[in-house]
Amino acid sequence: MFLRLFNSKNVYSAILIPLVAFLFWMEPLKVPVALVVIPGEGMMPLYTFFAKFFISSTIWPVVTGFLLVLLNSLLLSLLSYEFQFLQHRTFLPGILYVAIVSSFPSLQTFHPVYPATLFVLLAVYYIFSTYHRKNEISSTFNASFLLSIGALFYLPVITLLPLIWISIFVLQKSDNWRLLVIPLIGISLPWLLLWTFLFVSGSDQTFIASIVQGMKTANNQFMYNYGFLIVTCFIFLLSAFGSISLINSVSIRKMSTRKYFIILYWMLGLSIPSVFLLPSTGLGIIAITTIPVAFLISHFFMTGKRGFWKEFFFFIFLATLVAGHFLLFEQF
C-alpha cells in the first residue's frame, strides 16, 4: 500500500515530496533555533557570505534550508524524468531523498551542503547530457564550473571533481586532449575569480587561514553513533538490493541506463572517502551520498513485481527513518 502510493506514475505524486518534508521539518519550522555555523563545514566563502544574512534570524535559516531540500529533491526526480534511466517516470527518488536527508535534525537548517547539492545536481544534469555527444565541450565546461562553485559552498564536493574526466571516458568515449583540458578551466575559473576579489579586498590571507583552520576540525565522529550505523546499514542493504536488481536486468536495459548508473556508482565511490580524507567532513555529506543511493533504492522498489517483502521493506525503511529522527539522532 505504502509503496504503491509513493511509487505512483502520476505526476501529482510530486506533492508527496513537500508533504514528507514538512512532516520531518514541522518541529524546527514551529520552534526555529538560530543558525550555528559548524567549524570545518561552514568556512567556505560562498556559504559564509550568505550565512551572514541569517545571523539575526531564527526562522529564515530553517525556511531556506527547507526550501533548498525541496528544490534538490525535485531536481533529483526530474533527472530520472529527463534521462529515463529508471523503469518508469516517478518522483520516488525525490521522496526517498527528502526522507533520508530530513531525518537528521542537525541538518534542518541552512546547512552549506544544501546549496552545494543544488550545484552538484545541475552538474550531474550536464554530465548526463554529454552521453553520445562526442567532444561535447559546453556541457563538460558547465559541469566542471558548477561542481567548482559547489565546492566553494561545501569543501567535500571537491572530491567529486574527478567525475568530470570519468564521464568523458564513460559517456563520450573520448581521449581528445583538448576536451580533457576543458574541465581544468571550468574548475579553476570560480576559484580564480574569488581569489581576485579577495586579493583586491585584502582578505586573501584570512580566506586561506579559515580554510586551513577548518580542515583541522574533526567532524566525522558521527560515523560511530549507533543510531547512524543502524540507519546506514539499512540503507546499504536496500542499495545492495538495488544493485542486484540492476545487474539482473542489465540485459534488457538501454545502454544509456547502464552508463548513467556507472556515473552514479563513481559518484558514490568518490564522495564516501571524503569522510576519511577530510576529517572536517560532517553529517552534511549524507546529502551528497544520498543522490546515487536514492536512485539505487528506487530501482529496487520499482523493478519486478510488488510483493509482500517489498512492501515490508519499504514500510520498515520509512519507520526506521522516523524512529531515527525522533529517537536516535537527537544528539547530532
* Dihedral sign computed on CA atoms, order 184, 187, 192, 198: negative
Q: Please measure the distance between the N-terminal and C-terminal CA atoms of the chain and give it in whole angstroms.
A: 33
Are residues 95 and 6 in contact, defined by beta-carbon separation less than 8 angstroms? yes
Q: Is 212 helix (H, G, I), strand (E, B) or coil?
A: helix
Between 157 and 273, residue with greater pLDDT = 157
The answer to whether 93 touches 77, Cβ cutoff 8 Å, is: yes
Question: Which of 159, 155, 162 has its CA nearest to residue 212?
Answer: 155
The x, y and z cell numbers of residue 44, run together, are: 567556505
pLDDT tens, 275-295? 888 888 888 899 999 999 999
Return the pLDDT at 11: 67
In angstroms, rounded to a whole number, what is the distance separating the alpha carbons of residues 267 and 272? 9
Mean pLDDT of all residues in 155-174: 91
- pLDDT-above-90 percentage for the chain: 39
The pLDDT assigned to 330 comes to 52
Per-residue pLDDT, 332 = 47
Q: Which residue shows C-alpha cell 552521453?
A: 131
pLDDT of residue 24: 92
Q: Return the percentage of the chain with pLDDT > 70, whole number.
A: 92
User: Residue written as cell 580524507?
Assistant: 277
| pTM for the model | 0.92
Main-chain dihedrals φ then ψ at residue 84, nearest 5 degrees? 50, 50
- Whole-angstrom CA distances from 166 to 87, 130, 217, 267 are 25, 12, 31, 10
Q: Specify the 3-state DSSP secondary structure of 6.
A: helix
The mean pLDDT value for 61-65 works out to 94
Is the Cβ–Cβ distance between 256 and 131 less than 8 Å? yes
Q: What share of the chain is helix, strand, coil (3-state, %, to 5)?
A: 75, 0, 25
Task: Tell me how many degrees the CA angle 249-254-260 measures, rounded to the nearest 5.
Answer: 95
Q: Which three cell numbers stand for residue 122?
A: 545541475
* Predicted local confidence at residue 304, as pLDDT: 64
Rounded CA separation 274/290 (Å):
14
Mean pLDDT of 19-34: 89
Could you tell me the pLDDT band of residue 9, with boundaries at 50, 70 and 90?
low
Cβ pair 103, 33 in contact under 8 A: no
- Can you give the pLDDT at residue 263? 94
- The owner of cell 531556506 is 64
